[in-house]
Chain A
Amino acid sequence: MKPDLKPPRWAERLLEFFCAPHLLEEVQGDLHERFQRQAMLFGAKIARQQYAWNVLSFIRPFALKRKKSEYPSTYLYRPDMFRNYLKIAVRNLVKNKVYSFINIAGLSAGMAVAILIGLWMWDELSYNKYHQNYEKIVRVMQHVTNNGEVQTWPNTPLPLAEELRKSYGSDFKHVTVSQDAYSILSYGEKKFSKKGAYFEPQITEMLTLKMLKGTRNGLQNPNAILLSESVAKAFFGEVDPLDKIMKMDNQTDVKVTGVYEDLPANSDFHEVTFIAPWQLYYNNNEWVRTMADPWRPNAFHIYAQLIPNADITTVSYKIKDAKLNKVSKELAKKKPEVFLHPMSKWHLYSDFKNGVNVGGKIQYVWLFGISGLFVLLLACINFMNLSTARSEKRAKEVGIRKAVGSVRAQIVYQFFFESLLMVFFSFVFALLLAQLMLPFFNSVADKTMSVPWGNPLFWFTGFGFSLLCGLVAGSYPAFYLSSFQPLKILKGTFRAGRWAALPRQVLVTIQFTVSVTLIIGTIIVFRQVKFAQNRPMGYNSNGLVTLPMYTSEIHTHFDAVKKELTKSGAIIDMAEAGSPPTENYSSTSTIEWKDKDPNLSVDFQTIAISFDYGKTIGWSFKEGRDFSKEFSTDSSGLILNEAAVKFMGLKNPVGETIKWYGTSNKVIGVVKDMIVQSPFQQVKPSIYHLTPYPGGVIIVKINPLASAGKALSEVETVFKKFNPSQPFEYQFVDEEYAKKFDNEERIGQLATFFAILAIFISCLGIFGLASFIAEQRTKEIGIRKVLGASVTNLWQMLSKDFVILVIISCVISAPIAYYFLQEWLQKYTYRTEISGWIFAVAGFGALVITLLTVSFQAIKAALMNPVKSLKTE
C-alpha cells in the first residue's frame, strides 16, 4: 500500500466522531476497501471524493444510534453522593483555613464591587426613566458656529418656542419655555431659599408628576405654585398646604395649588423643588417683555414632548432652520441650527464636539463596568489558581474515588459543587460587604443608591452571576482534576509537569497586568488634578466669601454696610458683581475694535462689577490701572483679560477704544487671566465693566486676623439689619473653586479604590500560591539547607518566579496604560505629561508589594528546621 493513498483525514475523523462504536469497525473497513479499489481504478482524487461522499451517506439514524450498554450506568444525582460532596467540601474548607479565607475573602470582595458597580450602572442607565413620557421628551438645543468652531448650547431664544408651536405644531404635543429659579420662599416666619423652575402649565403632564395634593392643572393661574413633597413638609409640616398663600422673593404672593412627589435623584429635574408658572416670570421681569431683539438673548430653556408616533431624528431635522429663518443677518452669520436632544440621552450622552454628540458619562459607565468586571475576574482567577495548585493534594482523593467506581462526570460534579458552595458563601458575604460599603460608595459617586433587596431582578442577576462565577471558577479544577488517571496517581508516578504551572503563571500575569495598569492610571489621574490645581488662579481666594443677593436692599446701602463691616474688623473689603468669581453667566458677541476682521465672530465673557472688585478678589494687573472713583469716565471704561487682548490682537491695549453694542468704551487696564470656568481649559476672553445696578452677588474678603466663623456672624448681623427679609447664605470661594475638580477627583478616588482592590486580590492570590509552593517544596528546601543553602539563597529561589511574572506584567501593562490614559488626557487643554517615572514607580511598587507578600511565606519556609521537614513522611 502506497503511503500517500490515504482517505481524507477530515472524513475519517468525522466518521469516527459520529459513527456508533459497534458499527465503526466494519463500516470503516468497507470504506477503506472500497477506497483502495477506487484508487486503483480511477485514481486517488476520485477515490477521495467518493470516500467523503460515502462517509456523509452514513449520517443517518442507524449509524448515529449507540448500542445500549450491557451494564447499568452510574446514577449521577444520588443524594448520598451529594451529601458526601458537601461533607468533603466542608472538611476541606475547615482544614485549609488560609486557603478558604483567601478564596472567600477575595471572591466576596470582587463580588461586592461587582454588585456596587452594577447598582451604579443600573442607576445611571435608568436616569430619567421615572418620567413616563421619557421616550418622547426632548430638550431643544442649538449648534452655533463661532470662527469655524461649532458650539452646542442648551439655551435658546424665547420666540423659538412660539415658532415651534406655530410652524411645526403638528409634531409636538407640548412645548414649554423654562427658566431656572432660585428664590426665597416664605410663609409666615419660615423662609428658605429653594431651587425650582418656571414652566408653562403643560409641564405637569409632560413630566407625569405624581400629584399628592391638588391636580396637574395647578399652573393655569399665573400666581400659583406647585411644591415638591419635601418643600411642602418643610413649610407646612402636617398641615394641608393647599390654597395657602406664600411669598416669592419677598414680593409676589403665590397660592399653593398642588404638591407633587419629590423627583428622584436620578432625574435631571431632581433639583426642581418647586414649579412656578412661566407667566409669573414673564410678568415679573421687565426685560423679558421689552427685549429689543427677542431672538438675540439665548437665555431660555425649551422642553417639548413629541406626538406619540413622531420620530425624534426626523423632527429634529425638520426644525433645523427654525431659528435661522427668523434671525437678523448678523446672527445668521453664526449659522444657528436647532435640534432636539432626547431625554434618554440627556444624562449619558451630553457632550458635543463640533456639533456631533461624542458621548459623555456613558464613557464612565463603560469604564467602571469594565473595571468591575476585571476585579471580579481577578477574584475568579485566584479561585482557579488556588484550586489547581492544590490539585496534587487532592489527586489522591480523585484516584481513590475513581478506583472505587466514580465516573468522570461525578468528579466534575463534585468540584463544581465545591466551587458553587464557595461562590454562594462569597455571595452572602458580598451582599453584606456591599451593604456596608454603600454609604462610602454613595459619597464617592455622589449618589443615593440602596441595595434593592425586594427586587426579584436583583436576586435573579445576583444568583445568575454567582452561578456563572462558580462555573467559570470551578471549570478549570473540575475538568483538570477529573482528567487524572487513577492508576498513575495511586502508583505515585503522577507528577504535574512543568506545563501544569503554566496556566497559573499566565493567570498571575493577567492579574498583575490589570493591577499595574490601574496603579498607573491612578497616579496619572491624580497628577492631572494636581497639575490643574497648581495652575495660578489669577486671584486670591483666601478668605473670599460670596453672598447671593435676591433683592436690592444691600445694594442701596452698600457703602454703609461696607463701612460698618470694615470698621468692626470683620472684613477687609467688599464688592458687588454679576456672578461669583468661580462662575459667569453672561457673554456678548457685539464687540467691535479697530482692525477687526469682519468675518470673525466673537464670544466674550462679560463680568459686571462694582468698584473695589479687583481689590477684593486680589487680581493683578499686567498693564494699566483698576477702576477708580476718581475718574468719572471710568463708568464707560473696560478692563480686559490677557486672553481678550490676545484674541483681539491689540499691541497697546490700554487706551484703545472698543465698541460694545454700539457704545464706545475705553480700555483702562489689562489683568492677568483668572480661571473662572474649567481649570482644565483655556481662559475665555473676558471684559470687566462697572455697573450701577445691583449685582447678583456680594463678595467680601474676610479679615485674615479675625476668625472666619466670628467674621461671618458679624456679616450676618449687619446684613440682617439692612436686609431682614433674606435668609443669610454664603459660600467660600475656595470651596467653590475646589468643586471644579470634583469630577476628576471622583474618578481618581474610584481608580484608587479599584487599584487597591485589584492589588489586594492579586496579593491574596500570590500569597496563597507562595504558601502552597513553599509547602510543596518543603523536602527540597530541607535538602538544600542540609547541603548548605543560606536563608537568602532560599528566599531568592522562592521569590524569583513571582518577580519574573510581575516584571512581565509591568512590561505588558505599560503600553496599555499609556494608550488609554493618553486618550483620556486628550480631553483636557491643560494636561500633565505621562512621564516615564510613573511607569517605573508603578512597576517598582508592584514589585515591592509582591516581594513583601511572597517573602513572608518564603522566609517562613526557609527558616524551617530541615530535620523536621526531612523526618516526616
Chain B
Amino acid sequence: MRRTYLGEFEEVVLLMVAILDGEAYGVTVSQALEEHTGRVVTFGTVHNTLIRLEEKGFVSSQLGGATNERGGRRKRIFQVTALGSRALQEIQQLRHELWQMMPPTKLRLTGL
C-alpha cells in the first residue's frame, strides 16, 4: 500500500471537502474552516493545500459554476476521491485503536 503522509492541516481541509460534498471550493472551504475550527487562514494557504491534496490524489477537481459575483469566473470544485476517503477512514481507524490502547487512569490524570 502506498503510504502517503497526510499533514494535520491537510487532514482538516480534506475533511472539510468531504463535509461540503460537491460544494467545496476555495471560498467555501475557508469559510467552513473558520466556522467549524475557528482557524482563520489566508486563501493562499487553502488553495495551496487543495492543490497539494489533488497532486497526492486525495481529491479531484473540475471547473464549473460561474456566478455573477465572481465576475463570470468558474470555480474549481473539489471532491474527495476513493483514495481520499480511505485515507480518512484509516486515520480514524488508527486513532480509534490507539485510544483503545490507552490505560484508563491516564485519562483521568490529564483531567478527562
Q: Which residues of A contact B (CB under 8 A)?
A: 1, 23, 25-34, 36-37, 53-54, 56-60, 62-63
Contacts and interface: CB of A to CB of B under 8 A. Distances in A.
B9 interface: no
Contact of B48 (A31, A53, A62): A62
B100 interface: no
B103 interface: no
B72 to A, nearest CB: 8
A25 B75 CA distance: 8
Contacts of B68: 1
B42 interface: yes
Given A30-B26, A58-B44, A36 B69 contact: yes
B43 A54 contact: yes
Central interface residue in B30, B68, B69, B75, by most chain A CB within 10 Å: B69
Contacts of A31: 43
B42 A57 contact: yes
Given A25-B74, A62-B48, A62-B51, A30 B43 contact: yes
B71 A26 contact: no
Contacts of A28: 71, 73
A284 B70 CA distance: 104
A33 B44 contact: no
A60 B70 contact: no
B23 to A, nearest CB: 13
Interface residues of B, number: 23
B105 interface: no
A26 B42 contact: no
A29 B45 contact: no
B67 A26 contact: no
B26 A53 contact: no
Contacts of A56: 44
B66 interface: yes
A59 B67 CA distance: 26
B71 A29 contact: yes
Contacts of B66: 29
Interface string B24-52: 01110010000000000011110110011
Given A1-B68, A26-B26, A62-B51, A32 B44 contact: no
A1 B67 CA distance: 12
B43 A29 contact: no
B94 interface: no
Given A27-B26, A29-B74, A30-B70, 15 more contacts: A25-B74, A26-B26, A26-B75, A27-B43, A28-B71, A29-B70, A29-B71, A30-B26, A30-B27, A30-B43, A33-B27, A34-B27, A37-B69, A54-B44, A62-B48
6 contacts: A29-B73, A30-B25, A58-B47, A59-B44, A60-B44, A60-B48
A1 B73 CA distance: 15
A29 B42 contact: no
B79 to A, nearest CB: 15
Interface of B: 25-27, 30, 42-45, 47-48, 51-52, 63, 66-71, 73-76
Contacts of B44: 54, 56-60, 63
Contact of A57 (B25, B43, B74, B76): B43
Contacts of A26: 25-26, 63, 73-76
A57 B45 contact: yes
Given A26-B76, A58-B47, A62-B47, A33 B42 contact: no
Nearest to B52: A62
Contact of B70 (A33, A53, A59): A33
Contacts of A25: 63, 73-74
Question: Which 6 pairs from chain A and chain B are nearest by CB?
Answer: A57-B44, A29-B73, A57-B42, A30-B26, A29-B70, A26-B76
Contacts of A54: 42-44
A383 to B, nearest CB: 47
Contact of B75 (A29, A53, A60, A62): A29
Nearest to A5: B69
B40 to A, nearest CB: 11
A360 to B, nearest CB: 62
B49 to A, nearest CB: 10
A23 B52 CA distance: 13
Given A26-B26, A60-B48, A53 B71 contact: no
A700 B68 CA distance: 107
A63 B42 contact: no
Contact of B43 (A36, A58, A62): A58
Given A26-B73, A26-B75, A33 B47 contact: no
Residue from A25, A26, A31 whose CB has the most chain B CB atoms within 10 Å: A26
Contacts of B25: 26, 30
Contact of B69 (A1, A53, A59): A1
Contacts of B42: 53-54, 57
Contacts of A1: 68-69
A1 B68 CA distance: 9
A849 to B, nearest CB: 61
A398 B67 CA distance: 43
Contacts of B74: 25-26, 29
Contacts of A58: 43-44, 47
Contacts of A27: 26, 43, 47
Nearest to B77: A26
Contacts of A53: 42
A391 to B, nearest CB: 39
Given A26-B26, A26-B63, A26-B74, A33 B69 contact: yes
Contacts of B30: 34
A59 to B, nearest CB: 8
A28 B51 CA distance: 15
Contacts of A63: 44, 47-48
Contacts of A60: 44, 48
Nearest to B70: A29
Contacts of B52: 62
Given A25-B74, A27-B26, A60-B48, A33 B67 contact: yes
A555 to B, nearest CB: 100
A15 to B, nearest CB: 11
Contacts of A37: 27, 69
B71 A32 contact: yes
B26 to A, nearest CB: 4
A276 B109 CA distance: 106
B9 to A, nearest CB: 14
A812 B71 CA distance: 52
Contacts of B45: 57
A57 B44 CA distance: 5
